Amino acid sequence: MDIKDIIKPENLVYQKSDVQIDTIMHYCPGCTHGVVHKILSELIDEMGIQENTVGVAPVGCAVFAYNYIDVDWQEAAHGRAPAVATGIVRTNPDKFVFTYQGDGDLASIGAAEILHACNRGENMLVVFINNGIYGMTGGQMAPTTIDGMVTSTTPGGRDIALNGYPMKITELIAQLPGTSYVTRQSAQNAGAVRKCKRSLKKGIQNVLDKKGTSFIEVVSTCSSGWKMTPVAANRWMEENMFPFYPLGDLKDGSKEPNLSKN
């Protein structure tokens, strides 16, 4: 059978979603952002919510997320995306609002905003990309940098005595009664991507069903910041990140009752 006989519209099984803007992303080769952007675009398309969606972009590598996913976007100040999203969703409760944040944005400078937004149970989806490093500014230590990990500000590896412990902020978030669904996923192979997409879908559905905050961490790579090839970065993540940041659901239930009303 000739290849030309296979490449026919009726045989098409996988292509770029219409919600993903047809342009080359600025991300480095192999960057997890691209994969997560893609599956978010696919879900917004498949779930028919493009017209109802407002995204909030962070400061970090994903600052230009609005160039890639064809929905209305707001670009927030560093770490403030959950507050910005709160403003949107409180005054527009019928909208599907999501934030897209990295680990420096969410777990360091924006720690207060994310904790309080999740604690209030703001009806929104949080997509949290954790690659243990500040990618955009050149690979500095993040709050999530694991023990011994080399970054440009921990050239000898993260030293707990000097830099403190890596922060498992998703575990903190899972304690908050405002969150309905908290999970940790990855996107390094096809199985992981498909699972991550199912989690994102559940998170989006929870928001559409007004169940409070859904929080999805994606343990990710930064091959440039880690100074590895993309394939080696995936292996390194599996061997070093996953033991510290184990994958799976941390919480999956409907929103717990607000204690103040009891």
Partner 1 sequence: MAKVRGAVVVDKEGCKGCGICVDVCPHDVLDLNLEVNSRGYHYSYMKNPEACIGCSNCGVVCPDTCLTIYRVRV
Partner 2 sequence: MGELRLMKGNEVLAEAAIRCGCDGYFGYPITPQSEIMETLMVRQPWDETGMVVLQAESEIASINMVYGAAATGKKVMTSSSSPGISLMAEGISYIAGAELPCLFVNVVRGGPGLGTIQPSQADYFQSVKGGGHGDYKCIVLAPASVQEMNDFVGLGFELAFKYLNPALILTDGAIGQMMEKVELADYKPRWTKEEIQKYSGKWATTGKPNSRKQNVVTSLEMDSDKMEANNRRFQEKYKKMEEEEVRFETIMCDDAEYIMVAFGTSARICQKSVEIAREQGIKVGLLRPITLFPFPKKEIAKLTCHVKGFLSVEMSAGQMVEDIKLAVHESGCNVRVEHFGRMGGIIPSPNEVVDALKEKFL
Task: Choose the stretch contacting partner 1; rule: CB under 8 A; options: 27-35, 88-96, 155-163, 210-218.
Answer: 27-35
- The C-alpha atoms of residue 111 and residue 142 are separated, in whole angstroms, by 12
Segment 64-69 long-range contacts (CB within 8 Å, at least 24 positions apart): 64/26, 65/33, 65/37, 65/100, 67/21, 67/23, 67/25, 67/26, 68/20, 68/21, 68/23, 68/25, 68/37, 68/41, 69/19, 69/20, 69/21, 69/37, 69/40, 69/41, 69/44
For residues 139 and 151, the answer to whether their CB atoms sit within 8 Å is yes
Interaction residues for partner 1, span 178-217 (CB under 8 A): 187-190, 193-194
Question: Toward partner 2, which CB reaches closer, 104 or 132?
Answer: 104
Question: Toward partner 1, which CB reaches closer, 213 or 226?
Answer: 226
Task: Choose the stretch contacting partner 1; rule: CB under 8 A; options: 13-21, 78-86, 144-152, 236-244.
Answer: 13-21
Residues 92, 175, 229, 258: which binds partner 1 (CB under 8 A)? 229
Q: Can you give the binding site for partner 2, defined by CB under 8 A?
A: 50-54, 56-57, 63, 66, 70-77, 80, 83-88, 90-92, 95, 112-113, 116
Angle, CA 30 vertex, CA 24 and CA 34 arms, to 5°: 50
- Tell me: does residue 29 bind partner 1 (CB under 8 A): yes
Residue 112 contact among partner 2, partner 1, none, beta carbon within 5 to 8 Å by kind: partner 2
- The C-alpha atoms of residue 87 and residue 237 are separated, in whole angstroms, by 35
CB of 80 to partner 2, least distance (A): 4
Binding site residues, partner 1, CB under 8 A? 1, 3, 5-8, 11-16, 20, 24-25, 27-35, 38, 187-190, 193-194, 223, 229-231, 234
